[in-house]
Structure 1
Amino acid sequence: MVNKTLSQTILSGWQMKQIKDLLSYERPDKYIVESEKYINNGTPVLTANKSFILGYTDEKDGIYNDVPAIIFDDFTTDSKFVDFSFKVKSSAIKILKERNNQTDIRFIYEKMKSINFPTGSHKRYYISQYQNMEVVVPPLPEQKKIAEILGTVDDEIRKTDEVIVATEKLKRGLMQQLFTRGIGHTKFKKTEIGEIPEGWIISKLSEVAKVERGKFSHRPRNAPEFYGGDIPFIQTGDVVDSNGKISSYTQTLNEKGLSVSKLFRKGTIVITIAANIGDTGILQFDSCFPDSLVGITPSEKIDAVFLEYYLRTKKEYLNSISTQSAQKNINLEKLNPLLVVLPAKDEQQKIAEIMSSIDEKISINQKLKGRLTFLKKGLMQDLLSGRVRANI
C-alpha cells in the first residue's frame, strides 16, 4: 500500500521503505498477564490505546524486557513507544522492534503516528495491510536527531501531565479535608453529615441561597425565531466544561427568546440536574438557561466560590438520589433540603482561595500541555516530511 502523500517527493538521501522492512513483529502470547486483578506496583500491564498502563502485576514470568519497543493494537492500529519492561493484556497486541541497525525505533514510532490509516471493520490489520505501508525515511543519523527532538518535547508533555495528575490528586485530598475539618480546628462535633468543627453550622441549601429552575417555556424549544440575539443562553455542556467558571456559551436568545426565559445574574451558581447531574459553575456574565439547569443565588451568609466547591463534593450524592426515567434527573424538592456546612465567612473565603489557587495551577499546566502538544504536531509535520531538515 503506497502512501501517496509521502511518496510524492523523496528528498536527497531519503528512501522509500515498507514498514515490514524497518520493523519485525512478535506475537505477545508469552507476555499476556494471567490475572487481571491488578495491584498498585510491580510490572506494568499495557494496552496500546489511550489508557496505556492498565495496572501492575506481581507475576514474575513472561515479562518483556527487550526495550525500547513499540506495542501495536492489531484492531485499532493504536501504538505506544515503550522503554520499560512490561506485560500486556491482549493477544491483539503486536510487539515491534527495529529490524536492522539502520533504523531508529523512536523515529519509526513517530513516523507511524503520522500515518492516517483508516480502520472500520473488526479485523487484524498489521500483517494484511499495515506492514505494507510505505514511508519515506532519512539516513540513520537524521532519524536519531529527529527522534531526539520529538522525544524532548514528549518528555516535557509527560512532565506536565505528571504535574497535572499530582495537583488533581492534591485537590481531591484538600477538598475532603477542608470541607470536613476546616482550617486550624482542634475541636469537632458529630452531626448528621459526619464530624465537623465545633464552630460550624449546618444549614439547608434553601436557607443559604435562592434556588430556581431555569426556564424556556415555548414548545418546540428549537423554534428559530427565539434565537440569534445577544443574550447568552447557556446549556448543560457549557456548565460541564466550565471547571467552575462559566465564561463561554454556544447559544444566544433575542428579546423574544428572553420573554419566554429568565435572566440570571453574573455570580449565580448553575448546577446541572438532567442526564449530567451535579456539574457546577459560576456565571461570569448575565445569562438565561433552560430548565435542565438550576440557578443558585447565594445569600450574604455564604461565599459563592465556597458554595460552588462544596457542591462539587456532593456530586456523587446527588447522583445517588436522582430519579431514573428516560434519563437521570433531580428536582428542587431534592436540592432545596441539601445540607450545607457553614463556617465563618472569613474561613469560607480562605477555603475558596485555597481551592481556586489549586485549580489555577491545574489550568496553567493544562494550557502549557496544549501549547507543547501543538508544538509537537508542528514539528512532526515539518521534520517527518523533510520540509525542515534536522541539523546533525
Structure 2
Amino acid sequence: MKIEEFQFPSDWNLGHIAGWFDFTTKPRGLDLSKNGDEIPFFPMDQIPLGRIRVSEFTPKPLAQLGSGTYVENGDLMVAKITPSFENGKQAIVDIETDFAYATTEVIPMRGRNGESDTLFLFFYLLHPEVRSDLAGKMEGSTGRQRLSKTVLGNRFIPLPPLPEQKKIAHILSTVQRAIEVQERIIQTTTELKKALMHKLFTEGLRNEPQKQTEIGPVPESWEVVPVGDICRSIVPGRNKPKVFDGDIPWLTTPNIKGLDYINADVDGLRVSSDELKSSGGRMIPEKSVIMSRVGDFGVSAVTNIEIVINQQLHAFVCPENLNPVFLCNQLRYRKPYMETIAAITTIPYLNKSKCESVPIALPGRPEQDAVVKAFETLDSKRNQHIARQQVLQDLFRTLLHELMTAKTRVHELTV
C-alpha cells in the first residue's frame, strides 16, 4: 500500500506506527512468580495463521524459562522471522493472566489508550502490500531473515479517529470470525474423513472377517497388491517447457493440493501441444490418478481433463476394474508408507519403481464404488464449506483494502 497514492480524509492521521502504537517491554522489578511457579509461554508453532486471538500456550516452569520475549495480555504478537512473517503469523494474546512469555522471534505491540486500537493494527499488518513492503526490508542471511523493530516502527500507517478504527476492526473481525467458523468445520470434516478412511480400508462395508497383511488388517476378501501391478504409470518428461502460451494445464503439487478432482479451471501454467511435443512432455489422460512423489506425500487427485505434470508428480492410469477415486483415497491413506520408503537427499522423493511399489488394499469394483460413495458424502460437505470460506476470504481482502485506504467508509457499511 503506497500511502502517497491515496487521498485520505482530513480527520485521518498519517504517521509512523511507532508514533501511535507502543512496543511492549518488561516492567522493571516485575515479579514473574506473582502468578505461580509456571508462566504461559507461546512458542512459534502456537502462534496461529488466520486467527485473531491466541489462548493456547505451553506452561513453562519459571526455572526453565531461559530466554524469551515478555508479552502482556491484549498484546499483538507479530512474528518477525522468515517465513513466519511473510506467511502472516500474528495474534493478539488472550489469556487469564496479565503477562506471559513468547519465543524471541516475535515483536509485541499494543495500541495507546485514547489514540489507537490494537485490533486495527492487527488488520493493517495483514494488508498484502504492507506485509510485502516490510518483508522486503527484512535483514539477515537467506532463510534466517528478520524484521527489525525499527523497520516495523518506521512503517507509515493511515490512522482514522479511534472510534472509526474500532468500527473498521469490528467489521473485519466479523468477517474473520466467519472465516474461522468455516475453517473449524473444514478441519472437523477432514478428521472425520481420515477416521472413515481407516475404518473402511481396514473393515470394508460387508462385516466380513479381517486378515493380517503386510499393511495391517484388511477385509478377508480384499487383495493387497502393488499399485504398479494393476495400473499403467506415466512419468513426466525430463525437460520443462520453455513457453507457456497454450491451453493444456501443466501442473505441480501446489496446483493439485486440496483438490479431489482436476477440472478445466485448475490453477497453473498452460502449454500448447506444439510446446509439449518439442519438450518431450507426456499427456495424462482423463480419469487418471495424480499423486505427489517429492516432499509432501499423500497429495492426490483424479483428473477430469487431459493434463501435463511436472517432475513432482506421478500418474496412474486405472483399468476398468479400479475406480480412480478409490485409488486416489488409497494413495492418500498410504502416506505414512510412502514416507518410510522415500529416498532422502535435501528432500524426500519416490522414484518410478517406488511409486509403483505402494501397496493398496483392493475389493471388487462394486464395493469400491460403495466405499467411494461414502467418501463423497463427506467430501461434498467439506467442499461446500471450502467454497463458503473462499467467498468470505475474497470479501475480507476487498474490505481490508477498501477500509484501510478510506475508499469505503464505515458509515457506508452495515454489519
- Of the candidates 166, 176, 198, which is equivalent to residue 176 of structure 1? 198
C-alpha displacement of 1:267: 1.2
TM-score (norm 1): 0.77
CA gap of 1:176–1:24, structure 2 versus 1, over 3 A, is same
Alpha carbons 1:27, 1:94 under 8 Å: kept: no
CA gap of 1:46–1:54, structure 2 versus 1, over 3 A, is farther
Alpha carbons 2:276, 2:282 under 8 Å: kept: no
Residues in 2 aligned to 1:377 and 1:69: alpha-carbon distance in whole angstroms: 24
The reply on whether 1:237 has 2:248 as its aligned counterpart is no
CA gap of 1:131–1:181, structure 2 versus 1, over 3 A, is same
Alpha carbons 1:107, 1:147 under 8 Å: kept: yes
Higher-helix-fraction structure:
2
Alpha carbons 2:77, 2:92 under 8 Å: kept: yes
Deviations 1:305-350 (A, max 9, x none): 1112112222332342234578755455445554321223322112
% identical aligned pairs: 21
- Of the candidates 105, 120, 125, which is equivalent to residue 148 of structure 2? 125
CA gap of 1:346–1:96, structure 2 versus 1, over 3 A, is same
Which residue number in structure 2 is paired with residue 37 of structure 1?
A: none
Residues in 1 aligned to 2:107 and 2:289: alpha-carbon distance in whole angstroms: 50
The reply on whether 1:147 has 2:169 as its aligned counterpart is yes
Residues in 2 aligned to 1:290 and 1:20: alpha-carbon distance in whole angstroms: 47
- Of the candidates 41, 45, 48, which is equivalent to residue 42 of structure 2? 45
RMSD over equivalenced CA pairs, Å = 4.0
Alpha carbons 2:110, 2:117 under 8 Å: kept: no
Alpha carbons 1:6, 1:136 under 8 Å: kept: no
- Of the candidates 366, 370, 376, which is equivalent to residue 356 of structure 1? 376
- Of the candidates 51, 63, 74, which is equivalent to residue 68 of structure 1? 74
Residues in 1 aligned to 2:100 and 2:380: alpha-carbon distance in whole angstroms: 37
* Secondary structure class of the residue paired with 2:320: coil
C-alpha displacement of 1:155: 0.7
- AA aligned opposite 1:315: K
Structure 2: 5+ residue stretches without partners: 33-38, 141-145
Deviations 1:94-137 (A, max 9, x none): 332222223332223323434343423136622x3433444332
Structure 1: 5+ residue stretches without partners: 33-41
Residues in 1 aligned to 2:41 and 2:384: alpha-carbon distance in whole angstroms: 30
* Secondary structure class of the residue paired with 1:341: strand
Shifted more, 287-296 versus 168-177: the winner is 287-296
Alpha carbons 1:21, 1:99 under 8 Å: kept: no
Which residue number in structure 2 is paired with residue 302 of structure 1?
A: 322
Compare CA radii of gyration and give the structure with the larger one: 1
- AA aligned opposite 1:97: R
- Of the candidates 123, 138, 141, which is equivalent to residue 160 of structure 2? 138
* Secondary structure class of the residue paired with 2:231: strand
- AA aligned opposite 1:170: L
Which residue number in structure 1 is paired with residue 36 of structure 2?
A: none
Which residue number in structure 1 is paired with residue 35 of structure 2?
A: none
Alpha carbons 1:28, 1:91 under 8 Å: kept: no
Residues in 2 aligned to 1:189 and 1:377: alpha-carbon distance in whole angstroms: 52
Residues in 1 aligned to 2:333 and 2:295: alpha-carbon distance in whole angstroms: 18
Residues in 2 aligned to 1:350 and 1:166: alpha-carbon distance in whole angstroms: 23
Describe how 1:87-166 pairs up with structure 2 within 5 A.
87-114=100-127, 115=130, 116-117=133-134, 118-122=136-140, 125-126=148-149, 128-166=150-188
- Of the candidates 22, 25, 29, which is equivalent to residue 24 of structure 1? 22
Deviations 1:273-306 (A, max 9, x none): 4666664332212345578754423233322211
TM-score (norm 2): 0.73
CA gap of 1:360–1:95, structure 2 versus 1, over 3 A, is same
